């Protein structure tokens, strides 16, 4: 049941898909406590003119998490219903459509594809590169704001690129329940969605 005190939209697979289609960017991958609401509002207005198929792979990170949660949720729900005899595996979902058993097979295939090591490694690598790019831009911003010296900026950048494998990539959420994945996404987008509303 939705919280009556919260009027922010839920972060769902559909919400994230629509943001991609609309050319909207997700929240910054940097966890900054110094971001002001005006900076977040400015970020929420950023749009890319690129068609979704031309956007960088890292733009799909959160959509990937939401898709994993949806597949896992649907499969778990169907298994629960079949195992407790609420529905028979032979029940057809819609005219000329698959039956429950076929849908479960399709969902298992999707899960296998979404967790294929080559696919996950490519997305993980793209997410790491994006985070490094954001961190490098943050170093430059701090230097330009005279918060750090040129020497400090050079050392930070050198360390950043030397230790790029230490930069976090995809979150390992394969064993998380769907509700936990969705809560993580809701928290990540909470401030950005609030800025979108204003």
The conformation of residue 60, written as its DSSP 8-state character, comes to G
Check pLDDT > 80 for residue 189. yes
* Nearest in space to 103 (alpha carbons), one of 116, 92, 87: 92
Mean pLDDT of 168-187: 91
The pLDDT of residue 35 is 55
Q: Which two tokens stand for residue 8?
A: 């922010």
Over residues 5-22, the pLDDT tens digits come to 456 778 999 999 999 999
The pLDDT of residue 79 is 95
Mean pLDDT of 94-106: 95
Sorted by where each begins, the domain ranges of the chain are 57-188
The band of 83, judged by pLDDT with boundaries at 50, 70 and 90, is very high
The secondary structure of 114-152 as a DSSP string is HT-HHHHHHHHHHHHHHHHHHHHHHHHHHHHTTSS-HHH
Check pLDDT > 80 for residue 179. yes
The band of 166, judged by pLDDT with boundaries at 50, 70 and 90, is confident
Helix axes 13-21, 61-83, angle to 10 degrees: 150
Cα gap 102→144, rounded to integer Å: 58
The pLDDT of residue 39 is 55
Q: Which two tokens stand for residue 162?
A: 């030397």
**Mean pLDDT of the chain, nearest integer:** 86
Exposed, middle or buried by CB within 10 Å (0-12, 13-18, 19+), for 1? exposed
Least confident among 30-39, 44-53, 94-103: 30-39
């Amino acid at each position: 049941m939705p919280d009556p005190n919260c009027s922010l939209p839920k972060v769902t697979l559909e919400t994230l898909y629509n943001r991609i289609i609309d050319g909207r960017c997700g929240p910054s991958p940097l966890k900054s406590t110094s971001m002001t609401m005006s900076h977040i509002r400015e970020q929420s207005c950023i749009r890319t003119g690129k068609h979704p198929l031309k956007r960088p792979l890292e733009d799909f990170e959160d959509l990937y998490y939401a898709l994993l949660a949806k597949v896992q949720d649907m499969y778990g729900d169907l298994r629960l219903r079949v195992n407790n005899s609420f529905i028979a595996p032979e029940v057809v979902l819609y005219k000329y459509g698959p039956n429950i058993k076929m849908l479960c097979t399709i969902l298992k295939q999707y899960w296998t594809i979404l967790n294929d090591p080559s696919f996950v490694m490519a997305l993980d690598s793209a997410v790491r590169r994006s985070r490094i790019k954001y961190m490098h831009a943050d170093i430059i911003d701090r230097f330009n704001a005279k918060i750090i010296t040129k020497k400090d900026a050079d050392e930070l950048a050198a360390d950043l690129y030397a230790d790029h494998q230490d930069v976090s990539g995809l979150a390992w959420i394969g064993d998380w329940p769907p509700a936990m994945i969705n809560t993580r996404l809701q928290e990540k987008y909470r401030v950005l969605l609030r800025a979108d509303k204003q």
